[in-house]
């Protein structure tokens, strides 16, 4: 009860124009323009001894998608739920981000996406990744590619790669190798299979560390799955029917509850 009162207070403070504490809004809906205040940096408050999370030398706080830095703290730029992750592991110092839903993808550096080759222009392939512009991919950005040994890429092929350059001022560039020169799973996606599009939120749900949907599906049939952060999923199973079943489940599971999903899968495994 006390927690909910604190949250209502935070919303009221936000509406009044003052910022609200970031910690109070975790799990709440935030709107663009809201200011989230962060606890003061320990160096400024040298006198006060802070116990708990603030005491250790603070790692950098990660300000994720949907948030921007501003003078007072963090400024929200997208509407959605505010999420927080405690310090430790890959996000030293904790992380805040806004969990929002959208279908249109905006290229981000480092994201792994599925692209469709639309044109071959000399040494460069043009890929459609679902963004505002087509991404370019050099023919040398494949593992083991040299000037003599070109990769066998045709128009209409599917490519799994990551963004090397992706900002609003330049054309996005993709590569199919990582920093050490190995492909590590990227490159041309093989023959057959089925490509379809879902919303970005579902992709993130499916890629979460312990995703029940994926675990349940993996019990059904042997199949192969490629998830691109641009909302595209490619599925391949032994027969066309199995492939289509998996596609339908993945498309529908966004709006099904866990119960409904288990029922649907039970029916299928019965068949």
Partner 1 sequence: MAGEVKTKLSKNLLRMKFMQRGLDSQTKKQLEEEEKKIISEEHWYLDLPDLKEKESFIIEERSFMPCEDLLYGRMSFKGFNPEIEKLMIQMNSRCKEEEIEVDDKMEADVSDEEMARRYETLVGTIGKKFLRKRDQRVLQDEDEDEDGNNNTRPSKKAKKKFLKPQD
Q: Which of 50, 60, 104, 150 binds partner 1 (CB under 8 A)?
A: 60
Nearer to partner 1, 9 or 27 (CB): 27
Q: How far is the CB of 248 from partner 1 (least distance, A)?
A: 17
Q: How far apart are CA 253 and CA 233, in angstroms?
A: 14
* Residue 27 sits in the site that holds partner 1 (CB under 8 A): no
Nearer to partner 1, 7 or 58 (CB): 58
Nearer to partner 1, 22 or 24 (CB): 22
Contact 139, 124 (CB under 8 A): yes
* Residue 125 sits in the site that holds partner 1 (CB under 8 A): no
Tell which positions 88-117 bind partner 1, by CB under 8 A.
89-91, 93, 95, 97, 108-112
Q: How far apart are CA 69 and CA 20, in angstroms?
A: 15
Query: In terms of Cα–Cα distance, which of 200, 211, 219, 214 is closest to 250?
Result: 214
* Residue 52 sits in the site that holds partner 1 (CB under 8 A): no
* Residue 236 sits in the site that holds partner 1 (CB under 8 A): yes
* Residue 145 sits in the site that holds partner 1 (CB under 8 A): no
Query: In terms of Cα–Cα distance, which of 166, 146, 159 is closest to 234?
Result: 159
* Residue 267 sits in the site that holds partner 1 (CB under 8 A): no
Residue 29 structure tokens: 């809906």
* Residue 185 sits in the site that holds partner 1 (CB under 8 A): yes
Which stretch in 9-17, 45-53, 55-63, 148-156 sits in contact with partner 1 by CB under 8 A? Answer: 55-63
Q: Find the farthest-apart pair of alpha carbons in the chain and give their distance in angstroms, rounded.
A: 70
Cα separations in angstroms, 51 against 38, 48, 90, 91: 16, 9, 23, 21
Cα separations in angstroms, 116 against 136, 196, 213, 245: 11, 12, 26, 23
Q: How far apart are CA 101 and CA 71, in angstroms?
A: 27
Q: How far is the CB of 47 from partner 1 (least distance, A)?
A: 19
Residue 196 structure tokens: 């379809």
Contact footprint for partner 1 (CB under 8 A): 38, 41, 58, 60-65, 67-69, 74, 83, 85, 89-91, 93, 95, 97, 108-112, 160, 184-185, 204, 207-209, 214, 217-218, 221-229, 236-238
């Amino acid at each position: 009860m006390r927690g909910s009162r604190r949250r209502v207070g935070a919303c009221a403070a936000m509406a009044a124009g003052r910022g609200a504490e970031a910690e109070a809004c975790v799990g709440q809906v935030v709107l663009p323009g809201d200011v989230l205040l962060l606890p003061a940096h320990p160096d400024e408050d040298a006198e006060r001894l802070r116990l708990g999370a603030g005491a250790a030398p603070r790692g950098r706080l990660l300000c994720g998608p949907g948030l921007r830095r501003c003078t007072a703290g963090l400024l929200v730029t997208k509407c959605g739920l505010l999420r927080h992750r405690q310090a430790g592991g890959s996000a030293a110092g904790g992380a805040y981000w806004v969990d929002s839903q959208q279908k249109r993808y905006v290229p981000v550096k480092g994201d792994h996406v599925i692209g469709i080759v639309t044109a071959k222009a000399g040494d460069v392939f043009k890929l459609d990744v679902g963004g505002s512009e087509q991404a370019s991919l050099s023919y040398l950005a494949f593992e083991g590619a040299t000037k003599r040994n070109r990769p066998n890429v045709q128009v209409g092929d599917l490519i799994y790669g990551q963004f090397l350059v992706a900002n609003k001022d330049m054309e996005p560039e993709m590569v199919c190798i990582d920093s050490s020169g190995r492909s590590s799973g990227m490159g041309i996606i093989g023959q057959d299979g089925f490509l379809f599009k879902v919303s970005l939120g579902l992709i993130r749900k499916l890629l979460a560390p312990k995703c029940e949907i994926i675990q349940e599906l993996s019990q059904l049939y042997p199949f192969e799955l490629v998830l691109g952060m641009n909302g595209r999923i490619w599925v391949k199973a032994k027969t066309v029917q199995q492939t289509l079943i998996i596609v339908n489940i993945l498309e529908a599971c966004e709006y099904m509850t866990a119960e409904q999903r288990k029922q649907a899968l039970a029916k299928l495994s019965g068949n």
